[in-house]
Chain A
Amino acid sequence: EAGVVQSPRYKIIEKKQPVAFWCNPISGHNTLYWYRQNLGQGPELLIRYENEEAVDDSQLPKDRFSAERLKGVDSTLKIQPAELGDSAVYLCASSRDRSYEQYFGPGTRLTVT
């Protein structure tokens, strides 16, 4: 069974530029999570989807961050415009449903210069 796929793996952009990350969860997993992980710290939840619905986006900085999960499968996380402080690893995870084990993708390392 394929794991959670994320792309790109690395991204370097200048501040004020837009950037997008893509996530393909494990087949059949209804719940999808986006996390941000700063260097040397634990992941912080940005948004959680159950199917197509964003059920917890309380930690998503909505002035510059947006996310979508069309058709309840793949998801995209966008930042526009990026700031220096957005440099981090963005992790996607999926689970069969909200009460089951999360499986993480390898993450996208974003560097904003």
Chain B
Amino acid sequence: TQLLEQSPQFLSIQEGENLTVYCNSSSVFSSLQWYRQEPGEGPVLLVTVVTGGEVKKLKRLTFQFGDARKDSSLHITAAQPGDTGLYLCAGSPSGTYKYIFGTGTRLKVLA
């Protein structure tokens, strides 16, 4: 069973602070995605990374795929209350067309 462990599980911070969420596995993935999910809604894709060592930026969000394609991180700069939600990573094992979701990180940004 391929597991994606996310840390921390919960995070509550003040507006303006920076944070990093980690997604780790012992398995290699051909690609990895990050989603944000708000209450009562389905996950919304933020980014897909496919190359080991790849870094992608989306405004205040920076995503990095580990060199060995087993782990990833999401860094948010100057967090805002609108960033509040459940952040999910999802990895696609090589040779498959499905994504295995991580355990999730619930972020709350206080104004």
Known: A40-B104, A42-B103, A45-B98. A93 touches B48 (CB 8 A): no
Please indicate the chain A residues that have their CB under 8 angstroms from the CB of B98 in the complex.
45, 48, 56
Instruction: Give the CA-CA distance A98 to B45 in the complex, in Å.
Output: 15
- Whether B45 contacts A102 by the Cβ 8 Å rule is yes
Q: Is A25 interfacial (CB-CB < 8 Å)?
A: no
Contact residues, A72-113 vs B (CB, 8 A): 91, 93, 98-99, 101-107
Are the C-beta atoms of B48 and A101 separated by less than 8 Å? yes
B40 near A102 with CB under 8 A, answer no
Q: Are A41 and B48 in contact (CB under 8 A)?
A: no
Could you list which residues of chain B lie within 8 angstroms of chain A, going by C-beta atoms? 4, 40-45, 48, 88, 90, 97-104, 106
Question: What are the residues of chain A within 8 A of B104 when measuring CB–CB?
Answer: 40-42
The distance in angstroms between the C-alpha atoms of A40 and B102, with both chains bound, is 11
Q: Which residue of A lies closest to B40 (CB)?
A: A106
Contact B42 A91 (CB under 8 A): yes
Question: Taking chain B's interface residues, is the majority helix, strand, or loop, or is none over half, making it mixed?
Answer: loop
A41–B43 Cα gap in the complex (Å)? 12
Q: Interface majority SS on A: helix, strand, loop or mixed?
A: loop
Contacts of A44 in B (CB 8 A): 101
User: Contact residue range for chain A?
Assistant: 20 to 34
Q: Report A-chain residues with C-beta under 8 Å of the C-beta of B106.
A: 40
- CB–CB A99/B42 < 8 A: no
- Expressed in whole angstroms, the Cα–Cα distance for A59 and B105 within the complex equals 24
Q: Which of B43, B44, B90 has the most CB of A within 10 A?
A: B43
| Residues of the A chain whose Cβ atoms lie less than 8 Å from the Cβ of B43 | 43, 91, 104
Q: How far is the CB of A106 from chain B (nearest CB, A)?
A: 5
For B101, the chain A residues whose CB sits under 8 A away are 42-44
Given contacts A40-B106, A42-B102, A56-B98, contact A104 B42 (CB under 8 A): yes
Task: Please tell me if the beta carbons of A42 and B42 are within 8 angstroms of each other in the complex.
Answer: no
Chain A residues whose C-beta falls within 8 Å of the C-beta of B44 in the assembled complex: 104
**In the complex, chain A residues whose CB is within 8 Å of the CB of B88:** 42-43
Q: Which residues of B contact A67 (CB under 8 A)?
A: none
Contact in complex: B97, A4 (CB < 8 Å): no
